[in-house]
Amino acid sequence: MLHGDETAANTVRHALENASRDRFNEVLAAVQSCGALDYAHGEAVKVSEQAIQGVAMPTGQRNQTRTDRIGQIVG
């Protein structure tokens, strides 16, 4: 957690490392308070909009876009 306090970050880290649900309410509160859910939702919306745009492209253009993207990732 980049934007939470140290106590909240430790609570979340402990829960993740130990696959523990014992302090679920504290973990949920920590994640909500630092804006992580809003951030993740925004990123998911962006990716889904990109996917929709990709599906709407003509097949040849869609394939070229995939090739271009792979080139960007690979370097």
Quick one: tokens of 67?
């090739």
- pLDDT tens, residue by residue, 6-34: 888 889 899 999 998 999 999 999 988 88
Q: What residue segments make up the domains of the chain, in order of their start?
A: 6-34, 40-74
% residues pLDDT > 70 (the chain)? 67
Q: What's the distance, Cα to Cα, between the start and end of the chain in Å?
A: 29
State whether the Cα torsion 46-52-55-61 is positive or negative: negative
Q: Does the pLDDT value for residue 37 go beyond 80? A: yes
pLDDT number for residue 14:
92
Q: Does the pLDDT value for residue 44 go beyond 70? A: yes
pLDDT number for residue 25:
93
